[in-house]
């Protein structure tokens, strides 16, 4: 029979523990503590990696006055609440939860720790001590969609999507609208992989799309795997969330770079100075939350100029990625000429626009 009792190890460890606890108590107590909860590993070189860059920006800005902590690959189910509670209990003053699935756990734990400030990325539930923040990534997609529409030769763009939530659907639609403006014959084929981070699955999806004729692949998942496949197969692609040039120097045409640094530093400063308030932040290219990398040298000057017009138009407010006329898949006009979609509609987007092949999983 199994005779393994936790108690036994405990006893044998008492000595080591005594030593350990003295070392622990030597840690500085007066530093402002900022915690981060990540859905993937920091080495995903995409979504989580960029949040971690933001965490390091806080350290660089405030030096000894802050200590930061992160917990990576935290499951979005029952585990999130425990991790959050532990961070709060361990004296963290400000906690960033960087995935949609942490929403209810964040709100729940925030209730038990009214003195701790929480910041939840991409959700919609706020409280006195819970802010929400996200970036208008769809603005970046409009720039990429312009490039893709002008550069595709097969008129087929492959799109690897994670989950059919409004955020992802919005990205696909923004790409399609921009693409069709410069190339009315181009189409987007979508593969849903039902994961944020699974390099093998993402790579398989990229192969499938390339086999179906896509000569440009885009992804709304977190690893560079699709881009690496594009590089291998000699087709083109885009980086996602960070600059992935080193993974695919030939294939990466351009990339969206999530830049949380400014926001994280500002919010940490506000919390340290006592001016922190619960807000909802949704910033885009103009504020610098959505950034870009260098244009690949294979991009012609025409294409680059067209992309820059879209980018500067969005910054200047003359171009909106969801500007009418917009038609849905069956050709009905859903936004009339001269109108733009409101933030409210964008936040709940659940249909495809014209130019996307297949139907949206419901």
Q: What is the size of the binding site for another protein (CB under 8 A)? A: 54
Q: What does the CA dihedral 273, 275, 280, 281 come to, rounded to 10 degrees?
A: -50
Is residue 139 within 8 A of residue 289, CB to CB? The reply is: no
56 belongs to the binding site for another protein (CB under 8 A): no
Q: Where are the beta strands (DSSP E) in the chain?
A: 32-37, 66-71, 94-97, 117-121, 130-135, 156-161, 187-192, 216-220, 236-239, 252-258, 280-283, 290-292, 326-327, 333-335, 356-357
Please pick, from the candidates 53, 61, 166, 270, the single residue that binds another protein as defined by CB under 8 A. 166
Which one-letter DSSP state was computed for residue 348? T
Tell me whether residue 69 or residue 155 sits nearer to another protein (CB atom): 69
For residue 41, CA distances in Å to 143, 197, 239, 309 come to 28, 9, 18, 36
* 29 near another protein, judged by CB under 8 A: no
Member of 53, 65, 69, 328 binding another protein (CB under 8 A)? 69
Residue range at the interface with another protein (CB under 8 A); choices 261-269, 323-331, 334-342, 348-356? 348-356
- Helix then strand count (H, E) for the chain reads 11, 15
Say if CB 83 and CB 99 are below 8 A apart.
no
Q: Which of residues 279-308 bind another protein (CB under 8 A)?
A: none
By residue count, the chain amounts to 362
Determine if 28 is a binding residue for another protein (CB under 8 A): no
Pairing of strands 130-135, 280-283: parallel
Pairing of strands 66-71, 32-37: parallel
What per-residue string of b and e applies to 229-252 under the rule 16 or more CB within 10 Å gives b? Answer: bbbebebbbbbbbbbbbebbeebb
Return the residue of 277, 348, 358, 359 that touches another protein, per CB under 8 A.
348
DSSP state for residue 102 in the 8-state scheme: G
358 lies in the site for another protein, by CB under 8 A: no
Q: Is position 124 an interface residue for another protein (rule: CB under 8 A)? A: yes
Q: Of 10-18, 131-139, 198-206, 331-339, which part binds another protein (CB under 8 A)? A: 10-18
Contact between 42 and another protein by CB under 8 A: the answer reads: yes
By CB under 8 A, residue 76 contacts another protein: yes
31, 53, 71, 319: residue in contact with another protein (rule CB under 8 A): 71
Residue 171 interacting with another protein (CB under 8 A): no
322 binds another protein (CB under 8 A): no
| Smallest distance, another protein to C-beta of residue 69, A | 6
Determine, following the binding rule CB under 8 A, whether residue 343 of this chain makes contact with another protein.
no
- Site residues, another protein (CB under 8 A): 1-6, 8-10, 13, 16-17, 19-21, 23-24, 35, 41-42, 69-79, 81-83, 85-87, 89-90, 100-101, 104, 124, 163-166, 194, 347-350, 361-362
């Amino acid at each position: 029979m199994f005779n393994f009792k936790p108690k036994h190890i405990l006893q044998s460890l008492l000595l080591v523990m005594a030593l350990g606890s003295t070392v622990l108590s030597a840690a500085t107590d007066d530093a402002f503590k900022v915690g981060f909860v990540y859905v993937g590993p920091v080495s995903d070189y995409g979504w989580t990696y960029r949040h971690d860059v933001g965490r390091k920006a806080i350290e660089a800005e405030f030096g000894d006055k802050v200590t930061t902590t992160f917990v990576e690959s935290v499951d979005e189910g029952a585990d999130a609440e425990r991790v959050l509670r532990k961070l709060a209990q361990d004296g963290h003053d400000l906690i960033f939860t960087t995935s949609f699935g942490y929403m209810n756990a964040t709100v729940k734990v925030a209730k038990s720790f009214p003195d701790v400030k929480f910041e939840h990325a991409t959700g919609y539930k706020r409280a006195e001590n819970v802010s929400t923040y996200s970036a208008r990534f769809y603005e970046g997609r409009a720039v990429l969609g312009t490039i893709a529409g002008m550069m595709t030769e097969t008129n087929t763009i492959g799109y690897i999507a994670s989950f059919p939530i409004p955020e992802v659907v919005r990205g696909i639609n923004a790409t399609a609208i921009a693409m069709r403006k410069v190339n009315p014959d181009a189409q987007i084929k979508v593969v849903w992989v039902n994961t944020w981070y699974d390099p093998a699955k993402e790579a398989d999806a990229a192969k499938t799309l390339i086999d179906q004729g896509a000569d440009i692949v885009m992804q709304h998942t977190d690893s560079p795997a699709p881009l690496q496949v594009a590089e291998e197969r000699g087709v083109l692609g885009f980086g996602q969330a960070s600059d992935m040039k080193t993974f695919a120097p030939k294939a990466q045409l351009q990339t969206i770079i999530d830049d949380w640094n400014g926001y994280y530093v500002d919010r940490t400063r506000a919390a340290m100075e006592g001016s922190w308030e619960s807000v909802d932040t949704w910033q885009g290219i103009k504020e610098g939350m959505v950034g870009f990398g260098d244009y690949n040298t294979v991009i012609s000057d025409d294409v680059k100029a067209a992309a820059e017009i879209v980018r500067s138009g969005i910054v200047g407010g003359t171009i909106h990625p969801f500007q009418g006329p917009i038609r849905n898949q069956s050709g009905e006009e859903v936004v009339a000429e001269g109108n733009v979609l409101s933030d409210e509609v964008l936040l709940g987007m659940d249909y495809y626009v014209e130019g996307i092949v297949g139907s949206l999983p419901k």
